Amino acid sequence: MALESLLKQLAAVALCGPAEAGATATSHAARGSDAEVTVAPGRVVEAVQLLDAAGFMVEAITGVDWLAEQQMEVVYDFTLVATGERVVVRTRVPRAQPEVPTISRIYPGADWHEREAHDFFGIVFMGHPNLHPLLLPEDADFHPLRKDFGA
Amino acid sequence: MENQTEVPRGIIHFAVLNEALNLARANSLWPMTFGLACCAIEMMATGASRFDMARFGCEVFRPSPRQSDLMIVSGTVNKKMAPAVVRLYDQMPEPKWVLAMGNCAISGGPFKFPGQYAVVEGVDKLIPVDVYVPGCPPRPEALIEGVLKLEEKLTGKRRWPVVKPA
Amino acid sequence: MSTTAQSLHEEMFVLNLGPQHPATHGVLRIKLMMDGEYIADAESVIGYGHRMQEKMGENRTYAKFLPNTGRMDYVAAMFNTHGYVCAVEKLAGLRVPERAEYIRVITAELNRVASHLLWLGAFLIDLGGFTPLLYTFDDREQILDLLEGLTGTRLTYCYYRFGGVCNDVDDAFLAGSRQFVARMRARMPMYHALITKNIIFRKRCEEIGPITAEQCRKYGATGPVIRGSGVAYDVRKAEPYGAYPQLDFNVPVYPQGDCLARYMVRLDEIVESLRLVEQALDRLPGGPVMAEKVPRLLKPPKGDCYFNVESARGSFGVRLFSDGTDKAYRLKLRSPCFSNLSLFRECSRGMLLADALALLGSLDLIIPDIDR
């Protein structure tokens, strides 16, 4: 029940169009999550605030480099520990200027996840207090998980 | 004429005393606790009671490099970690030896492939290595065999029986 | 006297802990701003064990990446392989036979016991007590012998395959597991007498390093860390997988949130894991251990999915993106220790350095799991 009302709230924030799915319930057995929502980068913070109010925990933040579509995707995984429900928030940014607002003010744990995504892809999380390399050496200026990275 | 920074060698030869010193060094190799990755667990197991490296003189694992004479590089050496490895090696007083434990320390191990940006492929690219112990991870018996090989290198002869497979 | 007090110039100093330090469990560096013996700020610097596992996941076929999974969290290697294999099976639509699911439970729970035993020995060494390490490693060697006979390796297992497990268990393994369960049960009172009732251990751990449930939620901490703070979140119960729905076990939870609570959670988990192993041995069905018609070169259909398992350290997750080829397009490995360590900065403020090391030890970190 709580998930349905949350989905309605998320639907108000979500992107709906031919390419985006909006806010939909998904099969946990097939996808590993109970709901997925695609948002515009500027509305990520709103969506995450809804999840924080509902008591979700941030589990992972994944960056993906879609070279063919010249976009980068950021996938946020959230878990509700009381029930084991999962909600996934997705957003896409242009590859030439990948900027997403930070959620580290809502979830301090996202601080390190975002630093890692920045390390690997160069995605800039606007408003992040400390976007220095986390896993790479301090003076690293390359982003290794980009698809056009050739060592 | 002579370079002031060079330490002159061989002024005093100890002969038999040298052999005795080498025997003493071989029998009391103090390893430094330098576990980097998976091989560190097997190194801990070698120091525990079943395999017991203390029988062969590696009684105390010193955390400080200044008090140890054997550096067992157990695990992958990373480009970020490389300066720390070299600094620790420099901090060890002479005479010192290095044992490269595991495939990662020998050649990069399972992480060696074209396009690898993070791993130093073999610790011998940074510091001189005396004994290589292959394995991923090597069994504790293999690590002990590596220490015995080092003792053979120090004293010139092998003082322990060689284990033959059954 | 007032002039001496004025002429005393106090300032904070920076103390570097690691990356080579006996208590950092690997190559972790912590930059400590110290106010005397108290920590004003503790910034963790990681990346000294980074081996680009995620990049290798994109450059290797699905099967060739399997050995990498054992090297991430090497102490509890079965869980990493389990998470990866199940994520690929989910995308590829493979059904694992029941015998293989039960064997996976037996090996995973034995690995959990081995991991907790290693943690126990290392934790006590951090606190300064060397003796328990020898006992825990002795018990751990029994498990390692069993798993070595089954999988061929002592530490970094690569036993699960897509669609099942690599080879079937034999009678020696089954009998040995039963003997081990009985022996370990009889050893638990000894551990409690040696450690739990030790006054020095109690003083070092009781009410030290408190972590609240809200902090766990904000930082994403899972596993014994969140269960030691009163929240009963266990992936095996919340999102059941494998043969766990058919097995009966409890999830130990302690509300205090201090180091002692996390210690008690892990010791109770050892007992629960022994129960699980025993039940799985009793109910082990016959049949194949590998699904039929698994292609040699696996090409899961396009899409992505998430799968997480309850590792010894917390919720280990794999987010897998497939583009229909034989290599993953993106493989994200969600490490439990990564999130568990991220709350160290906030929780260690104002603590004595020795207490902060007790907190660090109680988080049960494996640094190559954080660095991947």
Element (H, E) at A64: strand A57-66
- From chain A, pick out residues whose CB is under 8 angstroms from the CB of C220: 57-60, 107, 109
| % helix, strand, coil for chain B, step of 5 | 40, 10, 50
Q: How far apart are CA A45 and CA A41, in angstroms?
A: 8
Domains annotated for chain C, with CATH where assigned, are 2-371 (1.10.645.10)
Distance from CA of A82 to the nearest CA of B (A): 35
C325-340 pLDDT, tens digit per residue, is: 989 999 999 999 999 9
pLDDT above 70 as % of chain B: 92
Q: How many other β-carbons are positioned within 10 Å of the β-carbon of residue B15?
A: 7
The predicted structure's pLDDT at residue C7: 58
Q: Is any Cβ of chain C less than 8 angstroms from the Cβ of A123? A: no
Rounded to the nearest integer, the mean pLDDT of chain B is 85
Q: What is the pTM of this model?
A: 0.91
Q: Which of C287, C256, C130 is nearest to C195 (CA)?
A: C130
Q: In this model, does residue B1 exceed pLDDT 60?
A: no
Give the span between the Cα atoms of C253 and C231, in whole angstroms: 7
Q: Is the dihedral of CA C302, C311, A78, C102 positive or negative?
A: positive
The number of CA neighbours under 13 Å toward the Cβ of C165 is: 25
User: How would you classify residue C138: left for phi > 0, otherwise alpha for psi between -120 and 50, otherwise beta?
Assistant: alpha
Tokens matching residue B71: 């550096």
Domains of chain A, start order? 2-97 (3.30.460.80)
C259 CB-near residues (< 8 Å, 6+ apart): C204, C205, C206, C208, C209, C358, C359, C361, C362
Which residue, C273, C279, C270, is CA-closest to C247? C279
CA atoms within 13 A on the CB side of A58: 31
The phi-psi region of residue C307 (left if phi > 0; otherwise alpha if psi is between -120 and 50; otherwise beta) is beta
Q: What is the DSSP letter of C164?
A: E
For C131, the token pair is 């003796």
Q: Is A25 on the interface with C (CB under 8 A)?
A: no
Q: C148, C234 in Cβ contact below 8 A?
A: no
Task: Render pLDDT for B69-107 as a digit per residue (tens, 0 to 9).
Answer: 899 999 899 888 899 999 999 999 988 999 999 999 999
| Residue of chain B whose alpha carbon sits nearest to that of A139 | B80
Distance from CA of B162 to the nearest CA of A (A): 44
Q: Is residue B156's pLDDT more than 90? A: no
| B95: CB partners within 8 A, 6+ apart | B25, B69
Residue that the structure tokens 């011998």 belong to: B124
Residue type present at position A114: E
Could you read off the pLDDT tens digit of each residue along chain A, which spans 151 residues? Answer: 577 777 777 777 776 654 555 677 777 777 788 888 888 888 889 889 988 988 899 999 999 999 888 999 999 999 998 888 888 999 999 988 889 999 989 999 999 999 999 989 999 999 998 888 888 888 888 888 888 886 4
Residue of C nearest to A66 (CA): C329
pLDDT at residue number C114:
94
Please answer yes or no on whether B48 and C68 come within 8 Å at the CB atom: no
Q: How far off is chain C from A44, nearest CA to CA, in Å?
A: 17
| pLDDT under 50: residue ranges of chain C | 1
Q: Could B79 and A137 be called an inter-chain contact, meaning their C-beta atoms sit closer than 8 Å?
A: yes
What pLDDT sits at residue C3? Answer: 52
Which pLDDT value is given to residue B12? 66
Are A145 and C55 in contact (CB < 8 Å)?
Answer: yes
Interface check for A129 against chain C (CB to CB < 8 A): the answer is no
ipTM reported for the complex, 2 dp: 0.88
Q: Please say whether the structural domain B16-155 has been given the CATH code 3.40.50.12280.
A: yes
Q: Which among A136, C204, C329 is positioned nearest to B117, based on CA atoms?
A: A136
What pLDDT was estimated at residue B157?
84
Q: Do A32 and C47 touch (CB under 8 A)?
A: no
- Under 8 Å between Cβ of B25 and B56: no
